[in-house]
Structure 1
Amino acid sequence: MKLTFYFILFYSFCFSQETIDLTEVSYTFDVNLHSYTEGIPYKSRLYYNDSTSLFIYNRINFEGAEGFFKKVGDRTGRFNGVRFYRNYDEEGYKFYLNFNTKELTSREVLMEKYEVTVKEKDIDFNWVITEESKKIGDYVCYKATTQNFRGRNYEAWFTYDIPVPTGPWKFHGLPGLILEVHDDKDLINITFNTIKQNSKSKAYYAKPNSKDVYNLEEYLKESFRLYLSYVNNKKAMIATGQMRSGDPSAYVNIEYNDEQIKLLDKYHQIEYNTYEESLKKE
């Protein structure tokens, strides 16, 4: 009887550890939503099988560091340079897509502190596929465009050679793997590096599932509220001498709407003014 029990236990353990084969695609996800002369070139990964995919970026072990701190230029000419920093996340931002249900489940981190799950379904990119083509790596890719997807115009390059309807970040819905994405303001650039079949890196492959669940509108509203609160608190701390430097913040969400972006520009100006005043005192 004991032998049977241990056999069942062993079998169950082995079965629970068994995972399906995945394909791994590495990208560089370069994001620059401020007026800096350079963005953040995240090392990112896409894992997929026949029915699901998972994209991850901003992860410590992908980057090989906990973060960075450097001085960069300012495109507006208001400053010679600003101190630019980033703390990478232990798990990373994750985007899990089910090809059949068309549900996207994301792991986001509010103000780089509070883990939340964001759920979306049936995202409509309104892709327009063109005849324009080019070679990316070993693959012939075709250009597709989408206008005003959450405030931005994008072009994506996908290949029919790999007929899976997924790609980096939230991009999906084309008749082949997306290898490259650019917005028309050169602020978001996703470029292909390598692809590896039957990846053994399966430890990350799980659907995000935190206790706090938002839809996209709720998440963006809370994200924006926390950002404005952060700017106001920092301004108050500098005014009372609790903080010496008012470096402009590097926290911006890709999907803020037009109204939020206008208000964000106003708060960026507050941050820059505060930063300039703090430099005079140093």
Structure 2
Amino acid sequence: MKKIFLVLLIPCYCLSQNNISTLNYDLIRTKGQFTFNADGILEIDSKNNISKFKLSQYVNLLKPDDFVKDITTENDSIKVVGAKKICQDDKIYYNDFKKDSTYSILYDTRCKSKVLIKDIINYPKWEIKNEFKKIGDYNVQKATAFINDRTWTAFFTNELGINGGPWKLIGLPGLVLEATATENTSTYEFRLTKINKNIECFEITKPYYKNQTTFNEFEKKSIERYKEQMFFIFSQVPGALVDEIDKNSFKLYETLDFIEKRD
């Protein structure tokens, strides 16, 4: 089991002192025999009731000059479709709990699809279980919730005096140390790896981006872009009858940025 490192930072002197914590998470995405890894950083301002989660692109998703990659094993056959330029910016999930507002910066694999989405906070409906265990040095309790078409199981602790969690895993009375969503051969898993407490002279900034839209519109355009990519690929097959290709018949892909259920 990976250990969680706690770091207590020496305060500095500044005009405005906030009790801010930063927490590092690993995100492990498995599908069949394939594994993708991303890094997450959660910033929590307990004084102003603000959190910000930054999630990197999957570090081993695609090489920058890949376009189409066929991956085949005995039990799995996956075609990964990418662009010449893979967006390396962080996805951002910012919550202002006092104002009940959330700001997200999302994209699919192409940087030009990057958008800012503003909405009200949608708290998961957690069911806290009477089940306990230890993760590292901390006693944790189990909770489950249905988030973005998946059932998530989280383990949280109230021993750190911090409430929060990565991505949309918010609203529990403690800090999420681990969380998993599994269906068939597909799994998402967050693991807390490092804690920095009581950081002062640090400000959590609200994200901004020029292109703004709603989540539903972003979801719709992401699906359409995928179908267009698949249509183009099939149309390049020698002898393909382009007029008979129905884009709506393409199996929906599994997004890696939590747009929706894709299995």
TM-score, normalization by structure 2: 0.72
Counting matched residue pairs gives 230
5+ long unaligned stretches in structure 1: 1-13, 242-248, 266-282
Give the structure 2 partner of residue 206 of structure 1. Answer: 205
Give the structure 1 partner of residue 233 of structure 2. Answer: 234
CA contact (8 A) 2:127 2:144 kept: yes
CA contact (8 A) 1:38 1:72 kept: no
Give the structure 2 partner of residue 120 of structure 1. Answer: 119
Give the structure 2 partner of residue 56 of structure 1. Answer: 54
Give the structure 1 partner of residue 260 of structure 2. Answer: 256
* Counterpart mapping for 1:92-241 below 5 A: 92-113=90-111, 114-147=113-146, 149-185=147-183, 187-199=187-199, 205-239=204-238
- The 3 A distance-change label for structure 1 pair 167 and 88 is farther
Look up the SS of the partner of 2:118 in the other structure.
strand
Q: Deviations over 1:218-260 (max 9, x none)?
A: 221121111111221232245499xxxxxxx875552325xxx
Look up the SS of the partner of 1:142 in the other structure.
strand
Q: Deviations over 1:4-60 (max 9, x none)?
A: xxxxxxxxxx97xx784531111111123xx54122111211111111111111259
Give the structure 1 partner of residue 11 of structure 2. Answer: none
Q: Using the alignment, how far apart are the partners of 1:220 and 1:103 within structure 2? A: 20
Q: Using the alignment, how far apart are the partners of 1:199 and 1:85 within structure 2? A: 39
Q: Identity, % of aligned pairs?
A: 21
Look up the SS of the partner of 2:225 in the other structure.
helix
- The 3 A distance-change label for structure 1 pair 67 and 133 is farther
CA contact (8 A) 2:127 2:145 kept: yes
CA contact (8 A) 1:67 1:85 kept: no
Q: Using the alignment, how far apart are the partners of 2:163 and 2:238 within structure 1? A: 51
- The 3 A distance-change label for structure 1 pair 161 and 108 is same
Structure richer in helix, relative to its length: 1
Structure with bigger gyration radius = 1
Measure how far apart 1:161 and its partner are.
1.6
Query: What is the one-letter code of the residue matched to 2:163?
Result: P
* Counterpart mapping for 1:3-22 below 5 A: 20=18, 22=20
- The 3 A distance-change label for structure 1 pair 193 and 73 is farther
Measure how far apart 1:163 and its partner are.
3.9
Measure how far apart 1:145 and its partner are.
0.5
Q: Using the alignment, how far apart are the partners of 2:18 and 2:162 within structure 1? A: 16
Measure how far apart 1:88 and its partner are.
6.2
- The 3 A distance-change label for structure 1 pair 240 and 48 is farther
Select the residue among 39, 45, 66 that pairs with 2:41. Answer: 45
> Please, what is the CA RMSD of the aligned residues?
3.7
Query: What is the one-letter code of the residue matched to 1:130?
Result: K
CA contact (8 A) 1:95 1:106 kept: yes
Q: Deviations over 1:60-82 (max 9, x none)?
A: 9xx6999588986547x254x86
Q: Using the alignment, how far apart are the partners of 1:59 and 1:250 within structure 2? A: 15
Look up the SS of the partner of 1:231 in the other structure.
helix
- The 3 A distance-change label for structure 1 pair 56 and 29 is same
Measure how far apart 1:206 and its partner are.
2.4
Measure how far apart 1:91 and its partner are.
2.9
TM-score, normalization by structure 1: 0.67
- The 3 A distance-change label for structure 1 pair 239 and 28 is farther
Q: Using the alignment, how far apart are the partners of 2:198 and 2:21 within structure 1? A: 5
CA contact (8 A) 1:111 1:251 kept: no
- The 3 A distance-change label for structure 1 pair 201 and 90 is farther
